[in-house]
Amino acid sequence: MAWRIEFSHAADKALQTLSADIQRRIVRFLRERVANAENPRETGEALKGNLRDYWRYRVGDYRILCRLEDDIVTVFVVHVGHRREVYKK
């Protein structure tokens, strides 16, 4: 089962600010490892605290914060950024 990947406006904007190489790595990771996974929870890690509704994926020093929507088989990307900044909201 293939999962659909959707970006929030803020996540898309944050992705566009990154270098072209990092953008390609992140999109390739989402397309190959997350979208094609039977269960995307196997690749990521659940967050805790006030971000407990989200999942995290690591791509080098960058993090992808997502909300997994099982009923519509969608990974909704909420934020993309460097690991030292992505959790600050």
What would the mean pLDDT of 77-88 be, rounded to a whole number?
89
8 Å CB contact between 26 and 15: yes
Fold of 4-82: YaeB-like fold (3.30.2310)
For the chain, give percent helix, strand, coil, nearest 5.
35, 30, 35
Domain ranges of the chain: 4-82
Separation of first and last alpha carbons in the chain: 33
DSSP H stretches of helix in 4-89: 9-16, 20-29
Per-residue model confidence (pLDDT) at position 87? 79
Query: Within 13 A of 88's CA, how many CA atoms are on the CB side?
Result: 5
Q: How confident is the model at residue 86 (pLDDT cuts 50, 70, 90)?
A: confident
Starting at the edge strand found earlier in the chain, the sheet holding 62-69 runs 4-7, 74-82, 62-69, 55-59, 45-46
For 12-60, write each residue's pLDDT tens digit: 999 999 999 999 999 999 999 999 988 999 999 999 998 899 999 999 9
pTM of the model: 0.91
